[in-house]
Amino acid sequence: MRLNAQQANSLYGQDVKDRSGSKIGNVGQIWADAAGEPTWVSVKSGGISRKETMAPLEKARIGDGGLTVGYDKSTVKNAPAVDSGAEEPLSEAQLHQLFAHYNLVPQTPPQTPPQTPPPAARGRAPSADGDLIRSEERLRVGTESQPAGTVRLRKYVVTEDVHTTVPVEHDEVYVEREPIAPGDARRTRADIGEAEQEMILRAERPVVAKESVPVERVHLAKDEVVEQQPVDEQIRKERVEADIPEASRRRR
């Protein structure tokens, strides 16, 4: 694909996905060919690695979700890599490895015809020091994974009071008196003297027993949560101003 400068600058830090839509990493850096056309992009996969694998922009496309390259994830993951933050141009050996890895045919850079100096009366003003190069800083925001803490799951024993009630029974004794009818007096023996009568009384009492039973399975689990975290930073830009006499200003 052909990218202009604005599109290329907008890719820094964006997601890089393979042709099936699976995320590979984030855009690290962008390389252009001799004609100034963006042709290669480095992919940061996170973690503590200082290496970024390379992917071609030839079959890539830009969408709402970031940059989608025309290769599968494993091909990009196993591609030749560069150091994170490298600024030097790709060497011939690196380009040869990349073309071989992605089965690409190297393209011959366009030949620029010699330019004749413009007439002194029109066009660009001659300068012994060449053109002024205006530069500015670009903010590249990415992520890295680092330990955020240790979670431990442990169990311990506590003692708590339990208050409950249980129904219990017991015998209560009372005396019943039943008069003897006159008709029954003849059939009842009347002995005068001492006598006794016994009765066994019964009473229940609470009995407590304990048993251990499984009640719950507990384990640790985690979810990956994505949140937007603000980043505030300052970048420097150069400005170019021309001090032109009023008589020499172009009339519009």
Instruction: Give the C-alpha separation, 4 to 164, whole Å.
Output: 80
> Are the beta carbons of 40 and 29 closer than 8 angstroms?
no
> Are the beta carbons of 220 and 149 closer than 8 angstroms?
no
What was the pLDDT predicted at 60? 86
Instruction: Give the C-alpha separation, 16 to 72, whole Å.
Output: 11
Which pLDDT tens digit goes with each residue over 157-190? 999 999 999 999 999 999 999 888 877 777 777 7
Q: Where are the alpha helices (DSSP H) in the chain?
A: 5-10, 73-77, 92-101, 182-185
The dotted CATH code for 1-103 is 2.30.30.240
Residue 198 pLDDT more than 90? yes
Q: How many residues does the chain have?
A: 252
Which pLDDT tens digit goes with each residue over 10-48? 888 889 999 888 999 998 888 888 777 888 889 988 766
Which pLDDT tens digit goes with each residue over 104-160? 887 655 433 333 334 444 455 544 456 788 899 888 888 888 888 999 999 999 999
Sequence spans of domains, the chain: 1-103
What was the pLDDT predicted at 161? 94
> Are the beta carbons of 77 and 102 closer than 8 angstroms?
no
> Are the beta carbons of 69 and 19 closer than 8 angstroms?
yes
Residue type at position 114: P
Mean pLDDT of the chain: 83
Place of tokens 């053109």: 131
Task: Give the residue-averaged pLDDT of 50-75.
Answer: 87
